[in-house]
Amino acid sequence: MTEHMARRSTLKNGVKIVTKTIPHVRSVSMGIWVNTGARDEARHENGLSHFIEHMIFKGTKKRTALQIAKEFDAIGGHTNAFTAMENTCYYAKALDSHLDRMIDILSDIFLNSVFDNGEIEKERDVIFQEIGLTEDSPEDYIHLLSNEVYWGDTPLGRSILGTPENILKFDSTALKKFFRTYYYPERIMVSAAGHLDHDQFLDRVGPFFESIGHGPDSVAFDRVAPETRSGVTLRNKDLEQVHLCLTTKGISITDPMRYAYSFLNTITGGNMSSRLFQEVREKAGLAYSVYSFITSYVDTGMMGVYTAVKPDKALESLEIILKELKKIVDCGLDAGEIADAAEHTKGGFLLSSESVDNQMVRLAQNEMHFGRDLSVAETIENIDAVTMDDVVGLARELFVFDKMALTLLGPAENKTAFEKLLMVS
């Protein structure tokens, strides 16, 4: 299959428009991206990015929340949004025959939302429920806690959802000020993938977005990689299991070693044949769920391991996890593991590329982080170039046990024993 090249245009005010034509589909996926997120919030602003994301759909100068929902439903499309640490995205998908309508609705909610105080009062309770849902799920909650433990009292250590105290204080004035501060042209990008023509799309989108200007509150980027913390933190809670999250340093999203980073995650605990899944679940039978994970930001990153076990098996489980990490550092890997990780990575990448939504997301992320589109061929070439020395070398750099942070949630005890394991591994 021939890969079509991405095209890029920049409006006079600095808003970027990037598209990729996929002629064999009938749909178009469109995203309005803002290069700001929870990481850009001060402590008293924590949760504002996420609150704005909710309020974007709650009414504009010409559409009510119900009208927005009805109009998207009427064209058989769907729309949603997400807030991350470093960006926020408002997206939609529809048939190519409804592209003009989708552009009109999505642009309207992004540019003309009113942030009505009455709607804010109602949405407050929705966000409280979202916070409660996270805290009621031990697996979700421990990831929140482990971020707090590892990154400390910094934006990366706080919840994207914000705190109940902050949510209670936010009003229309606060949301509008944050919007004016961070939602300015150089931070905004429109990406689209599917059955479309770049020039025609630009002609339709341009008039909406070229009117955006700089407000008096606009500020430049000010992101600083925080210092990380180590040690053991116990958070007692009445649960059947102890949930365990072990975190260590990672690498940035643009680091040349990012492909080796993915390999290391896959081999460590990224699938069912991974070392941790086999040792902790299949051989020892200690856990139903055990996996490793990686997180990357523009200037830093984190790698971690999660599992949940019986309280009296927590120490044993950690011992096995640390033993497996140490084996990679001390004994390296075998060629079969590298080959399998390469195929796993390529398979996941190519399968995701069949989704128009994923193409839209990838298009935007490549533009934000690299300033250009990374083709499928280039990505596959980079995956194939990863060597065993790359992966083992990265493991030796990241798996420094006395620099790791361990967070435990549940009926956990004997903090000293966990500390001793980390120090002697």
Confidence of residue 251 (pLDDT cuts 50, 70, 90): very high
State how far the alpha carbon of 206 is from the alpha carbons of 31, 107, 119, 299, in Å. Answer: 14, 10, 30, 32
Confidence of residue 401 (pLDDT cuts 50, 70, 90): very high
Whether residue 179 is contained in a domain is answered as: yes
Whether residue 375 is contained in a domain is answered as: yes
Beta strands in 84-163 (DSSP E): 88-95
Report which of 174, 194, 31, 178 is spatially closest to residue 103, judged by C-alpha positions: 31
- Do residues 202 and 237 both lie within one domain? no
- Do residues 151 and 248 both lie within one domain? no
- Do residues 272 and 381 both lie within one domain? yes
| CATH for 137 | 3.30.830.10
pLDDT of residue 243: 98
- Do residues 21 and 149 both lie within one domain? yes
pLDDT of residue 139: 97
Whole-number Å distance between alpha carbons of 174 and 294: 33
- Do residues 158 and 281 both lie within one domain? no
- Do residues 109 and 54 both lie within one domain? yes
The burial class, CB within 10 Å (0-12 / 13-18 / 19+), for 207 is exposed
- Do residues 146 and 65 both lie within one domain? yes
Q: Which residue(s) pair with 93 in the sheet?
A: 29, 78
Q: What's the angle, vertex CA 36, arms to CA 107 and CA 29, rounded to 5?
A: 40
Torsion of CA 180, 182, 187, 193, to 10 degrees: -80
pLDDT of residue 2: 52
Whether residue 223 is contained in a domain is answered as: no
Whether residue 81 is contained in a domain is answered as: yes
- Indicate the SS3 state at residue 67: helix
Whole-number Å distance between alpha carbons of 398 and 383: 20
CB 385 within 8 A of CB 258: no
1 pLDDT higher than 50: no
Q: What phi and psi, each to the nearest 5 degrees, are found at residue 29?
A: -110, 130
Segment 140-149, tens digit of pLDDT: 999 999 999 9
pLDDT of residue 339: 97
219 pLDDT higher than 80: no
Please count the structural domains in the chain: 2
Segment 301-347, tens digit of pLDDT: 999 999 999 999 999 999 999 999 999 999 999 999 999 999 999 99
Whether residue 214 is contained in a domain is answered as: no
Catalytic site residue 53?
A: yes
pLDDT of residue 216: 64
Which H/E stretch holds residue 329? helix 314-331
Whether residue 360 is contained in a domain is answered as: yes
Segment 253-312, tens digit of pLDDT: 999 999 999 999 999 999 999 999 999 999 999 999 999 999 999 999 999 999 999 999
Mean pLDDT, residues 61-85? 95
Mean pLDDT, residues 184-195? 96
CB 149 within 8 A of CB 229: yes
The proportion of the chain whose per-residue pLDDT surpasses 90, expressed as a percent, equals 94
- Do residues 249 and 356 both lie within one domain? yes
Long-range Cβ pairs for the range 142-145 (8 Å, 24+): 142/235, 142/243, 142/244, 142/245, 142/306, 142/407, 142/409, 143/245, 143/306, 145/233, 145/235, 145/245, 145/407, 145/409
CB 403 within 8 A of CB 248: yes
- Do residues 255 and 317 both lie within one domain? yes
For 171, the domain range is 6-209
In what order do the strands lie in the sheet containing 88-95?
6-10, 16-21, 188-194, 27-34, 88-95, 78-83
- Do residues 367 and 257 both lie within one domain? yes
pLDDT of residue 186: 93
- Do residues 250 and 374 both lie within one domain? yes
pLDDT of residue 5: 83
| Residue tagged active-site, from 3, 41, 45, 53 | 53
Mean pLDDT, residues 241-253? 98
- Do residues 112 and 240 both lie within one domain? no
In what order do the strands lie in the sheet containing 231-235?
231-235, 405-409, 242-249, 301-309, 290-296
205 pLDDT higher than 50: yes
Whether residue 39 is contained in a domain is answered as: yes
Whether residue 397 is contained in a domain is answered as: yes
Summary mean pLDDT of the chain: 95
Segment 207-216, tens digit of pLDDT: 999 999 876 6
